[in-house]
Homo-oligomer: A and B are copies of this chain.
Amino acid sequence: MNIRIYNARILTMEAHCEILEGEIQIQGDRITYLGKEKHSDDIKWDKEIDAEKNLIMPGFKNAHTHSAMTFLRSYADDLPLQEWLYQQVFPMEAKLTEEAVYWFAMLANMEYLTSGITANFDMYMKNEANAKASVDSGFRTVLCGSINDFGGTVREIEEEYRHFNDYDPLISYQLGFHAEYTTKREILEEMAALGKRYKAPVYTHNSETEQEVADCIERYGKTPTAFLDSLGMFAYGGGGFHCVHMTQEDLDICKERGIRIVTNPSSNLKLASGIAPIKKILDMGIDLAIGTDGPASNNCLDMFREMFLVTGLQKVSLKDASAVDAQEVLTMATVGGARVMGLDDCDILAEGKYADLIMVDLHQPNMQPINNIKKNIVYSGSKQNIRMAMVAGKILYQDGSFLFGIEPEEVYAKVNECIARMKKEG
């Protein structure tokens, strides 16, 4: 498909970029032109879209989530963490089938699109079903290894790494394990060796709760970051999800090893985990991205909520209303996410990059007046402002409709059927 979007404001998200006025041309899955309006009469356009002066920008990257956990949304909230996890979440997860994961992940992909998210970094089980849901919905997914003592082997992670990195242009895979606190030392050492063999970064949940850090210190005499680093886990970089309770030494290790950090502020509030030291991480020049976490803990997959919280929580916890400005937040939500996920061709809007982009509706009351569009998006934006979301040159969501060929009501019916069955199994 050749698509031309004209009469647009364009935010490329290149460093220090200003908002341009003009058009963007897409041929196949790539951006082929971006700049002042030109008609390019030599190209046959399948679609010419008048952006009506709305904003075109890179899609948001959801850099940490567990998509298929949609089935646990609002299933057991307002409970203490341990009771929630052991009495509610684990018993239901044990009943998951491939079919269920397929529909639950499909539902998440739809929700991502409504929030302008065009790619996710997904850590969960039954990756074949998850990948199929993304390919069938045209969505871009980076899978993340998730083994722990309760499931999977390092051998399987290696197989998945090779399989999913040669699966479909929309799918890629990064090495990973669930967390230090769920994974015995022997597996961790094998994972570190695997990372070295493939010269690949390794990703994991890290220092989400105070308890987790205290337990690791008791077990190994080191924080999770220092302990994993001592095993050579981050020889080729990697990333940590959450990273709420990080010492200065932990952050120094991140800086030195190129360990990227993905923050999940809503989840950290809802599960009472704490507030991550985002300003400090930014000041140290460590790469930062934003994730929603899974819908069991958040419960919604909404980058607008996360963006406001990334800055709002720093302002209140540092007692400084100037901490972490809107431009920094937008960078985390787009370029930062792409960097963490290894999506080098999805970071900014430029010729040759993948056409993973969104149209933000500025003709809504919450985007008016036009004093400052970037600040409007971070401080005032909502899902309601997403007019269109495109992945790899295909429009998947536009004006409230999903265009990838599966009816929403079919997805909802399948999802509710699967859950009813799982609940019934008792």
Q: Which residues of B contact A363 (CB under 8 A)?
A: 408-409, 412
Bound complex: CA A329 to CA B304 (Å): 21
Bound complex: CA A315 to CA B376 (Å): 28
The reply to whether the CB of A372 lies closer than 8 angstroms to some CB of chain B is yes
Bound complex: CA A220 to CA B135 (Å): 67
Given B107, B299, B305, B313, which contacts A269 in the complex, CB threshold below 8 Å?
A: B313
Chain B proximity mask over A355-377: 1 for CB below 8 Å, otherwise 0: 00000000111101111110110
Bound complex: CA A407 to CA B408 (Å): 31
Say whether B326 contacts A368, CB under 8 Å. no
Q: Please judge, given known A-B contacts A266-B312, A315-B269, A316-B269, whether A380 and B74 are in contact too, CB under 8 Å.
A: yes
Bound complex: CA A326 to CA B300 (Å): 14
The reply to whether the CB of A415 lies closer than 8 angstroms to some CB of chain B is yes
Bound complex: CA A100 to CA B69 (Å): 48
Say whether A299 contacts B376, CB under 8 Å. yes
The reply to whether the CB of A114 lies closer than 8 angstroms to some CB of chain B is yes
Say whether A321 contacts B84, CB under 8 Å. yes
The reply to whether the CB of A383 lies closer than 8 angstroms to some CB of chain B is yes
Interface with B: A158-166, A190-198, A270-278, which one?
A: A270-278
Say whether A365 contacts B114, CB under 8 Å. yes
Say whether B74 contacts A315, CB under 8 Å. no
Within the complex, the shortest CB–CB distance from A301 to chain B, in Å, comes to 7
How many copies the complex holds: the figure is 2
Q: Which residues of B contact A316 (CB under 8 A)?
A: 268-269, 272-275
In the complex, chain A residues 63-81 whose Cβ is within 8 Å of any chain B Cβ? 70-75, 77-81
Q: List 17 A-B contacts (CB under 8 A).
A: A70-B365, A70-B368, A78-B325, A78-B375, A81-B321, A114-B366, A266-B312, A269-B315, A272-B319, A299-B379, A304-B382, A305-B305, A305-B308, A363-B409, A368-B411, A368-B416, A382-B383
The 7 closest A-B pairs by CB, nearest first: A269-B312, A111-B365, A74-B375, A300-B380, A78-B325, A74-B372, A299-B379
Q: Which residues of A contact B (CB under 8 A)?
A: 70-75, 77-81, 84, 107-108, 110-111, 114, 266, 268-275, 295, 298-302, 304-305, 308-309, 311-313, 315-316, 318-323, 325-326, 363-366, 368-373, 375-376, 379-384, 400, 408-409, 411-412, 415-416, 419
